[in-house]
A and B are shown apart, each in its own frame.
Chain A
Amino acid sequence: MTDPVVRCENVNIYYGEKQAINDISIDILPKQITAFIGPSGCGKSTFLRSLNRMNDTIDGCRMEGRILIDDEDIYAPEVDVVPLRARVGMVFQKPNPFPKSIFDNVAYGPKIHGLAKSSSELQTIVEHALKGSGLWEEVKDRLDQPGTGLSGGQQQRLCIARTIAVQPEIILMDEPCSALDPIATAKIEALMTDLAKDYTIIIVTHSMQQAARVSQKTAFFHLGDLIEYGDTTQMFTNPRESRTQDYITGRFG
């Protein structure tokens, strides 16, 4: 048995008075893809954001419980969230490149985290990240052009390059393909599978097929509860819980 990289223990999350996550405990295994699925508003994004403390930036959002990454409590007072968010990177639904060149988009993170000692080293990091995100061949001749000029799928891969440029351990993805066509989606999915050799990936998706295609583990959320968590194959062929079955087969819950 491999040790989990993320351990969540009795996590509760509130927005003001309203509780969005109810006492969730879950272990995430390293170098695998874990999918979070569930109906709109069930708390997938909220829970995902708690894994790199992105919820800290939301007014009135409060969390209880413990989240350990590599046995370290990420909510401990001494934890600096900036390196934490490099270690636990995030890719959003809508690609959000900076209004800068393709090169600068990727170079920004390594620069501020002091990962490159020289400009040639920075170039190597950028090239490596762009290759890692499968974008290098498409952009190597126009690295000085704005990232916003790329297609949606390319922009999303640019954001993935930006995330991996700071050498994260974990990559969180919140509906990364929901704005992409099937070809761009397939490229991202192939990329995810590739990236899972080196990184732990957690993806929120509304596409059951996507969860089934890319992930090894699937967690089903409903109304702030974690209903079922298990091997993806089992979840999609023979789920244990009737609520999971009703959801993935498109029935009324």
Chain B
Amino acid sequence: MNEHIVSSYDDELNKLQTLIMTMGTTATEMVDNAVDALLNADKESARTIIDTDRAINAGLSRLTELSQNILALRSPMANDLRKVLSAIQVGLNIERVGDLAKNMAKLPISNEIFIEDIYAVELRKMGKIASGNLFDSLKTYNQENAEEALIVHANDIRLDELHKAFSKSVMLNITKDVENIDSSIHLLFVSRHLERVGDHAKNIAEATIYKVKGEIYEPSD
């Protein structure tokens, strides 16, 4: 890609990208840590996650401000315009992931949650896939790789299936294990949250496709 005649313009666009990647990496770690904190009943780590969410929100404010300035002062066109618009889109999705991680982190702080081993294994697996998809989608965004974004987008199915299977299994168990009904409800909540992290990763992959190709991606299903 050729550089702009006005190099400070490139600097500003690059700043957007850097900010996105910083926010995105933080959100990815938050998801991993939230699952860990839950499984290890680690309140301290959970509180750190809640604090970190503020940094994500501040990042989004900064991103909005930078984007606003570029739009108002540079009147970006074509691929530059798409860079700014997609950055806002990705930023909003990262911010939502931060909220989801924060919600999950609140659980071990105020609840004693009983997690059977088989469920712990499943949740860990889902957490890894969710954060992995998020990371991969951010990578496609950073590298402007639309082909890879399509693959990441398609990968979300796996997480959906795990979430469905997990929920079904917990639901069946709920009736049998009335004593731990609260824990079961919390586990359903976590599974649903991880599934939604995957949806945000999917949205980011769509933003990559828009950024690179200028097409609004509409999946056929």
A interface list, Cβ under 8 A from B: 208-209, 212, 236-239, 244-246, 248-253
Contact = CB atoms under 8 A, between A and B. Distances in A.
Contacts of B3: 251-252
A239 B78 contact: yes
Nearest to B210: A238
Contacts of B77: 208, 212, 236-237, 248-249
Interface SS, B side: loop
Interface residues of B, number: 18
B176 interface: no
Contacts of A251: 1-5
Contacts of A244: 78
Interface string B202-216: 000000000001110
A38 B103 CA distance: 53
Nearest to B9: A250
B214 A238 contact: yes
A236 B78 contact: yes
A96 B79 CA distance: 39
The 10 closest A-B pairs by CB, nearest first: A238-B214, A251-B2, A248-B77, A249-B80, A245-B78, A252-B2, A236-B77, A250-B4, A249-B77, A250-B5
A252 B9 CA distance: 13
Nearest to B75: A209
Contacts of A209: 75
B139 interface: no
B12 to A, nearest CB: 13
A238 B103 CA distance: 39
A106 to B, nearest CB: 36
B47 interface: no
Contact of B214 (A212, A237, A249, A253): A237
B118 interface: no
Given A244-B78, A249-B76, A251-B2, 19 more contacts: A208-B77, A209-B75, A212-B77, A236-B77, A236-B78, A236-B81, A237-B78, A237-B81, A238-B213, A245-B79, A248-B78, A249-B4, A249-B78, A249-B79, A249-B80, A250-B4, A251-B3, A252-B2, A253-B2
